[in-house]
Amino acid sequence: MKRPVIVLTGGGTAGHVSVNEALIPVFDDKGYEIHYIGSHDGIEEELIRDGHKEVTYHAIQSGKLRRYFSMKNFSDPFRVGTGVLQAYFILQKLKPEIVFSKGGFVSVPVVLAAKLARIPVVAHESDVSPGLANKLALPFSNHIFTVFEQTLDYLPNGKATCTGAVIRPEIFSGNRNEGLRIAGLTGEKPVFIIMGGSQGSAVLNDAVRKELGTILKSFEVIHLCGKGNIDDTLEQVSGYSQFEYVTEGLPHLLAAADFAVSRAGSNAIFELLSVHKPMLLIPLSAAKSRGDQLLNASLFKSLGIAQVVQEEELDNLSMMDLFNQLTMEKETLVEKMKKVANTKSPQMMADLILSYKN
Degrees to nearest 5, angle at CA 123 with 146 and 127: 35
- 33-36-39 Cα angle (round to 5): 165
Predicted confidence pLDDT, tens digits, the chain (358 residues): 789 999 999 998 877 898 999 999 999 999 999 999 999 988 899 899 888 999 999 999 986 655 544 545 545 667 788 999 999 999 999 999 999 999 888 999 999 999 999 999 999 998 888 988 899 999 999 999 999 999 999 999 899 999 989 988 889 999 999 999 999 999 999 999 999 887 788 999 999 999 999 999 999 999 999 989 999 999 999 999 999 988 889 999 999 999 999 999 888 999 999 999 999 999 988 777 778 899 999 999 999 999 999 999 998 999 999 999 999 999 999 999 998 866 788 999 999 999 999 8
Q: Where are the domains of the chain?
A: 5-164+343-354, 172-340
Topology agreement, domain 5-164+343-354 and domain 172-340: yes
CA distance 246 to 170: 14
Q: In the CATH hierarchy, which top-level class contains the domain 5-164+343-354?
A: alpha beta
Cα 82 from Cα 95, distance rounded (Å)? 20
Which CATH number, 3.40.50.300, 3.40.50.2000, 1.25.40.420, 3.10.20.310, labels domain 172-340?
3.40.50.2000
